[in-house]
Amino acid sequence: MADSEKNGEGKQQDLTKLLIMTLASIVIMFIVFAGVNYVIMENLISQKISALPTSQEELAEGEGEEDELQKGIIVDLGDFILNLCDEAQKKYLKVNVAIEVTKKDTDFPETTEEKGGGHGGHGAPAPVDPMEAIQKEMNQYKPAIRDAVITNLSSKTSAELATAAGKELAKEQITNDINSILGGEREVLRVSFGQFIIQ
């Protein structure tokens, strides 16, 4: 009887030791995993931070590039309602398209005329609004540009245009088509879709 009690206590002690060893190994593995994770994340964050421009000159250059990206002349091409290339079911696209084109040096001439004093300015031509002149210039290209947009978008399926990547691809193709129409006179910086509804 005494032997069986000692045997039972020995087994229970062995189980307790096994449980303590298991818990200790789990805690140690967790600590090692957390430490490795911390080191990896710290290295990744420090690499990202070191890649950022830190000097004032680099920051100024970055701002200058952003300013360059923002400059351009917006030409609204209007609304388009067109059939898409879906075979199973007829789908329609209603979209508003605008393009941003580069400026020329001659678009906004600086006025060097002196103001006031003089003889009343009789006979001087009225100043021409630069934006009006640019719109007039772009109006000659509008039919061909609209045709390029219609041809490009109507060749797509609704599934292609439903994704962000599909829209970006269509914008890129429209940009290339319009640049070939403009023939180097101006260059398309961006194509924007104002309204985009597929039904």
**DSSP sequence for 146-193:** HHHHHHHHHTS-HHHHHSHHHHHHHHHHHHHHHHHHHTTSS-EEEEEE
Check whether 172 has a pLDDT greater than 60. Answer: yes
Confidence of residue 115 (pLDDT cuts 50, 70, 90): very low
d(CA 5, CA 186): 97
d(CA 43, CA 20): 35
Do 148 and 178 contact (CB within 8 A), yes or no? yes
d(CA 154, CA 191): 16
Pairing of strands 188-198, 73-83: unpaired
Pick 80 or 68 by higher pLDDT: 80
Do 110 and 180 contact (CB within 8 A), yes or no? no
Q: What is the mean pLDDT of residues 64-80?
A: 70
Structure confidence at residue 195 (pLDDT): 85
Do 38 and 46 contact (CB within 8 A), yes or no? no
Per residue in 121-139, pLDDT (tens digit) is 555 555 566 677 777 888 8
Dihedral sign for Cα atoms in the order 75, 81, 83, 88: positive
Check whether 114 has a pLDDT greater than 80. Answer: no
The set of residues, in sequence order, having a beta carbon less than 8 Å from that of 187 and lying 6+ positions away, is: 101, 102, 179
| pTM, two decimal places | 0.56
Pick 18 or 49 by higher pLDDT: 18
Check whether 107 has a pLDDT greater than 80. Answer: no
